[in-house]
Amino acid sequence: MPPLTSLQLRRQLYHYFLSTPPPVSQFTQHSLLNPTRLPKFSFFSPSLSASFSSQTLNSNNDPDPIAQSISTELIRNTDADSLSIPQRLNLHLSHITSSITPSLVEQTLNLSPDAGRTVLGFHQWLVSDAGFKHTDETISFFIDYFGRRKDFQSTHELLRDGKDVIGFKSLESIVDRHVRAGRAAKIVAFFDRMKRDYGLKRDRESLTLIVKALCENGYASYAERMVKNLANEIFPNERICDLLITGWCVDGKLEEAKRLAGEMYRGGFELGTMSFNSMLDCVCKLCREKDPFKLHSEAEKVLIEMDTRGVPRNVETFNVLINNLCKLRKTQDGLNLFHRMHEWGCAPDETTFLILIKSLYQAARIGEGDEMIDRMKSAGYGEKLDKKAYYSFLKILCGIERVEHAMGVFEMMKTDGCNPGIKTYDLLIGKWCARNRLDKGNALYNEALSNGVEITPKAHKVEEKYLKKAEGVKKEKKRETLPEKMARKRRRLKKIRLSFVKKPKKRMR
């Protein structure tokens, strides 16, 4: 048979991809162990007897076939292949170049975490052969990918090639990845040369972005030094000042924050509510660590300073106080503050309600916690009760052994339209199995499978107090030997002698 030409080979590969069925997720239904078969040990494993016909995944969760094909080519071992990545992609996937979109590029990168620097070949193929026009957003996808791998040399090559399209979105990704990798000094140096090397703007907006990232990740000293060195070129505004004070408070260095606040007041700046809220939170955290009894007095000093400076309190101020009080298990003090918020013209937001609900459940004030959920819905924040919020409630209730009430909150969760996930079902099934209520665990397991939630059967430990003692088995009384009997009598006589109060020796005759 004569060798195939490049065009024939390409057509055969094209028909192969079209004929290949989409990936199907096969899973097996497993029933938990029958309660009557509970062993005498503390552990039990689920039975794997019943099987289940395979079902397909939800179409919304299926990866795009084109993204899957590109990802397969990127991950494949290229040691035995003489073709480069762009050549191989052009050979196998030239028929899909018109279907490439930014979302497809992002999904391909997410599916290829182990591709490494072959992604640079994918980038070259998009530009040269696929005719794809990069935007600031698509370049940021590649920057995030290499940032996750801490491959900043590839990021440099990418920025150099995409100098004409990169903008603020790419800058956000660069700053975020460098700072999270602990490269604070590198990002400060990057700001000095980013206009010359990459064509990015050096203005107050980009400076604010870098200062915010540094301060939020504990590099306030780098941020302050950077702002002071650039003061003649870019004069800081009140937003940057607030960020710097917040950065020192994130580091837990209250004295540095107060020193910087004094410098700003002498420089003619007026600190906003954000700065005082950060200092208030820092004061409360330090008091919780060192002396919780001083929290009220130290927090009052910050609030008085706010009133003296004419800085109004906002809902974030009350959230800081309520959160720190609840962490000290002073739930009632937090509730009293919650009821007084209207005196300062503030209304609670979703954060306030979530903090109080968790604290009430933690304090086993179950009815009040349910009332606070209803109050949150009445205030218009019902949409904020998402899957994550309900899971945190269930975790607290299971932690304080209120599993029956947790099932009520679980039903409320489903009524509100939140579909439970794997973690929620695992939590409840594990808790019921620990109580030796395998009927409840089986019901939840079957419900999860019927809802399309794939749960892996696990071995759960039954708590000793819930293990049923074997009926009809009486403990035989062991017959003592003569030495054991005499030793027992000696111990008993010694206890009797020691039980009497002895008189002082000088009075004894």
Which pLDDT does position 71 carry in this prediction? 78
For residue 430, give the nearest of 409, 390, 458 by alpha carbon: 458
Q: Which residue has the higher pLDDT, 211 or 32?
A: 211
Which pLDDT does position 82 carry in this prediction? 63
Q: Give dist(CA 287, CA 151) in Å, integer.
A: 41
Residue 263, CB-side half-sphere exposure with 13 Å CA sphere: 12
Q: Give dist(CA 303, CA 324) in Å, integer.
A: 15
The SS3 of residue 81 is coil
Size (the chain), residues: 509
At residue 365, does pLDDT exceed 90?
A: yes
Q: Give dist(CA 10, CA 5) in Å, integer.
A: 9
Cα 295 versus chain centre, distance: 29
The H or E element containing residue 461 is: strand 460-461
- DSSP, residue by residue, 427-455: HHHHHHHHTT-HHHHHHHHHHHHHTT---
Q: Give dist(CA 305, CA 15) in Å, integer.
A: 74
The predicted-structure confidence for 94-151, as pLDDT tens digits, reads as follows 676 666 788 888 888 888 888 888 888 888 888 776 667 888 888 899 899 989 988 8
Which pLDDT does position 77 carry in this prediction? 61
Q: Give dist(CA 77, CA 404) in Å, integer.
A: 53
Cα 356 versus chain centre, distance: 20
The pLDDT-based confidence of 506 (bands split at 50, 70, 90) is low
Q: Give dist(CA 227, CA 245) in Å, integer.
A: 13
Q: Give dist(CA 230, CA 228) in Å, integer.
A: 5
Residues facing residue 461 across a β-bridge: 43
Question: 350-362 vs 331-339: helix axis angle to the nearest 10?
Answer: 150
**CB-CB contact of 272 with 317 (8 Å):** no
Q: Which residue has the higher pLDDT, 341 or 72?
A: 341
The predicted-structure confidence for 234-287, as pLDDT tens digits, reads as follows 998 889 999 999 999 998 899 999 999 999 888 888 888 999 999 999 999 999
> Which tokens hold the place of 509?
């005759």
For residue 224, give the nearest of 259, 274, 186, 265 by alpha carbon: 259
Which pLDDT does position 23 carry in this prediction? 41
Q: Which residue has the higher pLDDT, 506 or 331?
A: 331
Cα–Cα–Cα angle for 278, 298, 245, nearest 5°?
Answer: 20
**CB-CB contact of 24 with 65 (8 Å):** no
pTM of the model: 0.71
In 51-67, which positions are buried (b, 16+ CB within 10 angstroms) versus exposed (e)? eeeeeeeeeeeebbebb
Residues facing residue 460 across a β-bridge: 44
Give me the torsion for CA of 316, 322, 323, 329, rounded to 10°.
Answer: 180
**CB-CB contact of 441 with 32 (8 Å):** yes
At residue 374, does pLDDT exceed 60?
A: yes
Q: Which residue has the higher pLDDT, 12 or 199?
A: 199
For residue 176, give the nearest of 206, 153, 207, 210 by alpha carbon: 210
The SS3 of residue 44 is strand
> Which tokens hold the place of 60?
């919304």
At residue 471, does pLDDT exceed 80?
A: no
